[in-house]
Amino acid sequence: MMKTAASCVLGLLAGAVIAAPKDFGKLSDGREAKVWRIVGEGGLVVDVTDYGGRIVRVYAPDRHGNLDDVALGWNTAAEYEKYGYSMGTLIGRYGNRIADGKFVLDGKTYELECNETSPAPRHCNLHGGPKGWDSCLWKVRETKFEGAPALELVLESPDGDQGFPGKVTMKVVYAVTADNKLVVTYEATTDKPTVLNPTHHGYWNLAGEASGNVLSQELEICADEYSEITDGLIPVRNAPVKGTVFDFTAMRRIDALKPRMDADEKLAPTTHWYDHNFMLRGAVGEMKRACTMRDGVSGRELQVWTTEPAMQMYGAQNMDGTLPAKRAGAMYPQYAGMALETQHCPDSPNHPEFPSTVLRPGETFRSRTEYRFSAR
């Protein structure tokens, strides 16, 4: 079968290489961003920018070897700054929500800025605050990781950053392997006790970005429990998924239970869709499969493996068809992609029953997530 135009162009960079960085545009404060391209031996191609450490593009082959970009996003740094949605970014210091922007550590109360205050009753620190790691320019250098071409991104977050204690040094490595894995590793240290919960906030559409919504694609989540939430989207307790609309223990269409969700007023705070934490099977630090997403038309499959204890599933219900896509003239509709964020639980500092997110001096935070692409 004839290759797509993207396949032909990317074929000029055959083999495991990292292309020279290119300009990615200016931000409103005059900072200039760059974008790097990692080309893996197996055909997977990943573009990464220093602005927020974002994954901008992921070209994955379908069952015929044709490449298409399966990551939602934009073509310039200015668009990411303008439109938001945490699109494709590294999240820090704390992924997801901390209720009322407060937590107690070693007897001291820390107050963070609440950057999500509407609609009521939402009132929390979301994704680290209004100037989280998504707004930073990371230091980037080319490297190798387990023999694969990789980019190392480093950020120093000062003591008091967005209200969080301690100076944190964060290192993230993006690597593309010969068997089409995008490997993301996290490593951090601190000089004071703090809390830390980094993640990657990518949106996936295995049919190709700007191809429509993902409702007919399939998903399996390796979790027997999910976190029930308040109207403010803060976890209350973990509950069994069995018998609920959160039961993805077997592969099924993402929208299989949509009529039931539309009718459930308890889901109104999330626009009757998914913005929930799932507790993964397996121990913290143990490499385990978190989920599998599949598109039957292209044959593409994405398995997410992680050492994290949980995963947030967010279904892009707030996109409304007015958000431009990377593809010229196209728009992102509601449910345009699926965010599958490997992490510790939301609001963990206020839930001693959840796995701890405390990091202390002398300790090193380490985490690994793999996005394993294939086609069938």
φ, ψ dihedrals at 334, nearest 5°: -60, 140
pLDDT above 50: residue 6 = no
Per-residue pLDDT averaged across 114-133, rounded? 97
Structural domain range at position 178: 5-375
> Up-side HSE of residue 39: CA atoms within 13 Å toward CB?
15
Is residue 127 part of the annotated active site? The answer reads no
Nearest CA to 205 out of 14, 62, 306 is that of 62
Is the pLDDT at 5 greater than 90? The verdict is: no
Annotated active-site residue 225? The verdict is no
Give the mean pLDDT of 25-40.
98
pLDDT in tens, 304-354: 999 999 999 999 999 999 999 999 999 999 999 999 999 999 999 999 999
Q: What integer pLDDT is reported at residue 16 of this predicted model?
A: 83
Contacts of 335 (CB under 8 A, 6+ apart): 213, 214, 215, 254, 255, 273, 315, 316, 317, 319
- CATH classification at residue 233: 2.70.98.10
Q: What pLDDT is stored for residue 336 in this prediction? A: 98
Counting residues of the chain whose pLDDT is more than 90, the rounded percentage is 96
**Percentage of the residues of the chain whose pLDDT score is greater than 70:** 96
Res 190: pLDDT:
98
Catalytic position from the list 127, 200, 201, 351: 201
Q: What is the mean pLDDT of the chain?
A: 96
Task: Give the Cα separation of 205 and 347 in Å (integer).
Answer: 28
Does the structure show a pLDDT above 70 at 13? Answer: no
Residue with the larger pLDDT of the pair 5 and 305: 305
The pLDDT score that the predictor gives to residue 11 is 47
Select from 318, 305, 235 the least CA-distant residue to 277: 235
Confidence of residue 14 (pLDDT cuts 50, 70, 90): low
Q: Which of 81, 152, 209, 341 is catalytic?
A: 341
Three-state DSSP at 112 gives coil
Place of tokens 């996109």: 319
* Distance between CA atoms of residues 279 and 371, nearest Å: 18
Burial track 253-273 (b if 16+ CB lie within 10 A, e otherwise): ebbbbeeebeeeeebebbebb
As for how many domains the chain has, the answer is: 1
Instruction: Write out pLDDT tens, residues 186-222.
Output: 999 999 999 999 999 999 999 999 999 999 999 999 9
Query: How far apart are the C-alpha atoms of 47 and 18, rounded to whole Å?
Result: 10
pLDDT in tens, 71-93: 999 999 999 999 999 999 999 99
Q: What is the pTM of this model?
A: 0.96
Note whether 337 and 208 are within 8 A (CB).
no
